[in-house]
Amino acid sequence: MSDRLRIVALEEHVVLPAIMEAWSRSGVPELPNLGFGDGPVAQRLRDTADMRLAHMDDQGVDVAVLSISSPGVQNLPDSDAVAVARDTNDQLAAIVADNPDRFQAFAAIPTQSPSAASAELERAVTELGFPGAMLYGRTGSKLADDPEYDELYAAAERLQVPLHFHPQMPVQAVMDAYYSNIGPIGTALAGPAIGWYYDLGVQYLRMIFSGVFDRYPDLQVIAGHWGEVVLFYLDHTGFFADAGGLARPLADYFKQNFWVAGSGTVSSRYLRWTAEVVGTERMLYSTDYPFTYGFRPGGFPYVDTSAGVARSFLEDAPFTDEQKADIAHRNWERLTPRATNPTRRPGQGLPHA
């Protein structure tokens, strides 16, 4: 390429004191993927300064859009979630304000309370300058298509900001039915090996078939992990669109309401398939830091973005320079014009859309 790509990565995880303290109070297991302990993942999750910036430079990432590690505030008691989300977002905003050229952030949203969820999204966007929010599918047993979410979806549509969904562990009944009695691998299969993606992908389909995007046709959702499995079955699942009473073909929802990123899975096959299904004009970029940084068991090449791989993967993609720039940063800037306008800085406050 003639000019160096500017890469904005959208699924870059952190944990902060406000939410770690709340997780501890509520009895959440203190695991490394939630920032507890002294292992490399935990240390990297907690770091929002020198180590993270050095690793971004090593990856070749220019801007990281920070988000709380899954499941955000959505596993907290209702009594805690609203205040913790607010404190967490204030802490995120302070990190961004200290280094606005390298960081942006997705808001944490207390989905336990519909009115509080929409109010916190509004505050995060209009007062803190956030470009959108990160959601984690279910809240308790309430799935993403539950009518209680309508107030939040309406607010996101009105504010013209995207909602990035991230998976979390399936409900216990699914864990017991599909992932039990096979030893330690069961937990991995239920989670980031494959179970996460089926869990959230089915929720995307539920959102479509329950009419969420017909009620809110301008709602924009960011799907990580190359579309959470569903994208690879659209040619088949779309056959059943009539039975679901869809107003338009199933694939149209993914081309009009969804944006797709790879979450650090550097597979050229997935990249090409995603481009063929939704087009490079609906693709974004992410590395899923720190969960894909510096880990290559047995030489497995597809989930390590360190040593410049995050950059070379995109630079070497079979696309034109214009398409690469779209994926790297321009699609993100088009999707979030208020938050990514270089003339304003996070925390200044923004007018309503």
Q: Which residues contact 29 (CB under 8 A, 6 or more apart)?
A: none
252: part of which helix (H) or strand (E)? helix 250-256
What is the C-alpha to C-alpha distance for residues 337 and 6, in angstroms, rounded to an integer? 16
- Residue 331, token pair as written in the block: 């699609």
CB 84 within 8 A of CB 19: yes
**Beta bridge mates, 104:** 65
Instruction: Report whether the peptide linkage leading into residue 110 is cis, meaning its omega lies within 30 degrees of zero.
Output: no
Other C-beta atoms lying within 10 Å of the C-beta of residue 96: 23
CB 319 within 8 A of CB 104: no
CA-closest candidate to residue 283, choices 222, 338, 196: 222
Q: Which CA distances in Å does 236 have to 140, 211, 230, 245?
A: 30, 20, 10, 16
What is the C-alpha to C-alpha distance for residues 68 and 22, in angstroms, rounded to an integer? 13
To the query of whether residue 150 is one of the catalytic residues in this protein, the response is no
What is the C-alpha to C-alpha distance for residues 124 and 347, in angstroms, rounded to an integer? 9
> Considering 62, 87, 146, 288, which one is annotated as catalytic?
288
- Tell me whether residue 301 is exposed, middle or buried, using C-beta atoms within 10 angstroms of its C-beta: 0 to 12, 13 to 18, 19 or more: exposed
SS3 assignment, position 90: helix
CA-closest candidate to residue 205, choices 165, 170, 253: 253
What is the C-alpha to C-alpha distance for residues 287 and 56, in angstroms, rounded to an integer? 10
Q: Mind telling me the catalytic residues?
A: 288
